[in-house]
């Protein structure tokens, strides 16, 4: 069974540009989460999808971040325009049911904004 | 707001020694998770502790949960170099909810 995949693995962009990160959850997993770890800080929750609906987006830092999950399958996280403080590692995770024991994490996308 | 605190943040130990990593959380939580992350890799689930007094063991690692004290421990027995990694604990924000708050992580280095 394929795990959670993320694309790209690395992205280097300039301040003011737009970047779109993609996450493909494990097939059949209704729950999809985005987290990020800014350099030197803890991993922080961004938002949670149940199928195509946003269950909780309380962790989204500001309106420069837009997450979508088309048809309840893969998800994208767009940052527009990117700022220096957006640099970090963006993780995606998925789990099959709402009260599931564990979340399965993807390898992360390392974003560097110059 | 739920806060999850780990200590120590950095741990350097000799092979063969024992040590404990502590994870404190600030509000009532019914579950506690431990993850391992190798450099440049994803988080790998180690343990899920679902109730007060839960204890789980896998190889040289043993995790426990005390919900009354709001404390979980990850005990390392007779450490080996392969255990070198960063270990995270995480707790759900709300009961019956999967949105998690993570500790800052403990970077463990096991020296031969």
Specify the pLDDT at position A52.
93
H-state helical runs in A1-114? none
pLDDT value of position B96: 59
**Distance from A3 to chain B by nearest Cα, in Å?**
11
pLDDT at B104: 93
The chain B residue lying nearest A6, using CA atoms, is: B42
For residue B47, how far is the Cα from the chain centroid? 8
Per-residue pLDDT, averaged over A70-91, amounts to 95
pLDDT of residue B89: 96
Q: Flag if B104 and A41 touch (Cβ within 8 Å).
A: yes
Q: Which CATH number covers residue B46?
A: 2.60.40.10
Looking at the DSSP assignment, which residues form a beta bridge with residue A49?
Answer: A32, A54
Question: Do residues A41 and A110 make contact, with C-beta atoms less than 8 angstroms apart?
Answer: no
Q: How is chain A split into domains, by residue range?
A: 5-113
Burial grade of A16 (CB within 10 A; 0-12, 13-18, 19 or more): exposed
Residue B90 domain boundaries: 4-111
Burial tier of B101 (Cβ tally within 10 Å: 0-12, 13-18, 19+): buried
Query: pLDDT tens for residues A40-49?
Result: 788 999 999 9
Give the CATH fold of the A5-113 domain.
Answer: Immunoglobulin-like (2.60.40)
- d(CA B36, nearest CA chain A) in Å: 11
Torsions phi, psi of A49, nearest 5?
-105, 140
Has residue A100 got a pLDDT over 60? no
Q: What is the 3-state secondary structure (H, E, C) of chain B?
A: CCCEEEECCEEEEECCCCEEEEEEECCCCCCEEEEEECCCCCEEEEEEECCCCCEEEECCEEEEEECCCCEEEEEECCCCHHHCEEEEEEEECCCCCCCEEECCCEEEEEEC
Question: Three-class SS of residue A68?
Answer: strand
3-state secondary structure at position A38: coil
Distance of CA A90 to the CA centre of its chain: 6
Question: B41 contacts in A (CB within 8 Å)?
Answer: 107
- Residues in chain B, how many? 112
Q: What is the pLDDT of residues B49-107, one digit of tens each?
A: 988 888 999 999 999 999 899 999 999 999 999 999 999 999 987 765 667 889 999 99
**How many domains does chain B contain in total?**
1
- Could you tell me which chain A residue has the CA closest to the CA of B47? A102
Cβ pair B106, B21 in contact under 8 A? yes
């Amino acid at each position: 069974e394929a795990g959670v995949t993320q694309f790209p693995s690395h992205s280097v962009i300039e301040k003011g540009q737009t970047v779109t990160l993609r996450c493909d959850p494990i097939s059949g997993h209704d729950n999809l989460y985005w987290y990020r770890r800014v350099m030197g800080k803890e991993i922080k929750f961004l938002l949670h999808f149940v199928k195509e609906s946003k269950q909780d987006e309380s962790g989204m830092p500001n309106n420069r971040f837009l997450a979508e999950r088309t048809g309840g399958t893969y998800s994208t996280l767009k940052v527009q325009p990117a700022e220096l403080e957006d640099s970090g590692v963006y993780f995606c995770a998925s789990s099959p049911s709402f009260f599931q024991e564990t979340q399965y994490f993807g390898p992360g996308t390392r974003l560097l904004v110059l | 707001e739920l806060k999850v605190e780990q200590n120590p943040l950095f741990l350097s130990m000799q092979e063969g020694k024992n040590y404990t990593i502590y994870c404190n959380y600030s509000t009532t939580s019914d579950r506690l998770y431990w993850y391992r992350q190798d450099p440049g890799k994803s988080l790998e689930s180690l343990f899920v502790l679902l109730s007060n007094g839960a204890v789980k063991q896998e190889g040289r690692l043993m995790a426990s949960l005390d919900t009354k004290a709001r404390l979980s421990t990850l005990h390392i027995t007779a450490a080996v170099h392969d255990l070198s990694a960063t270990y995270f604990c995480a707790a759900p924000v709300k009961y019956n909810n999967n949105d998690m708050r993570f500790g800052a992580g403990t970077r463990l280095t096991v020296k031969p």
